[in-house]
Amino acid sequence: MPPRPFHAFLGALGASAVQVGTAYLFCPESRISPPHRAALKSARDDATVITTVYSGRPARMIVNRIVRELGPLASGAIRTDESGP
């Protein structure tokens, strides 16, 4: 991942740290499936939510069928867009 987004988060946006776990999924050693890799590559910022659907702990996820059907999203879950359902 290029350093530019990190500089934006740490500088202009005022963050004190940046989590980059998803970036490691693009390494050749990653064993994610081609469809998962494609979904990550094409996901937009407004296609994610913070939810507890999978593990019971807050995590940012791409909204998919499981997130929609196993919800509801955790009470107070944070959406990245304000227009979502």
0.85 exceeded by pTM: no
Q: For residue 26, which phi and psi values (nearest 5 degrees)?
A: -90, 0
Counting the structural domains of the chain, the total is 2
Same domain? 32 vs 57? no
Same domain? 2 vs 37? yes
Q: For residue 21, how many other CB atoms are within 10 A of its CB?
A: 8
Give me the average pLDDT of each 10-residue run along the chain (85 residues): 64 69 82 90 82 79 83 56 48
Q: For residue 48, which phi and psi values (nearest 5 degrees)?
A: -125, 160
Instruction: Yes or no: say if 49 and 84 are a contact pair by the CB < 8 Å rule.
Output: yes
Same domain? 34 vs 5? yes
Same domain? 6 vs 32? yes
The SS3 assignment for 60 reads: strand
Residue 33 is predicted with a pLDDT of: 92
Alpha-carbon span 43 to 1, nearest angstrom: 15
For residue 64, being part of any structural domain is answered with yes
In which domain, by residue range, is 72 found? 44-80
Same domain? 52 vs 74? yes
Same domain? 65 vs 55? yes
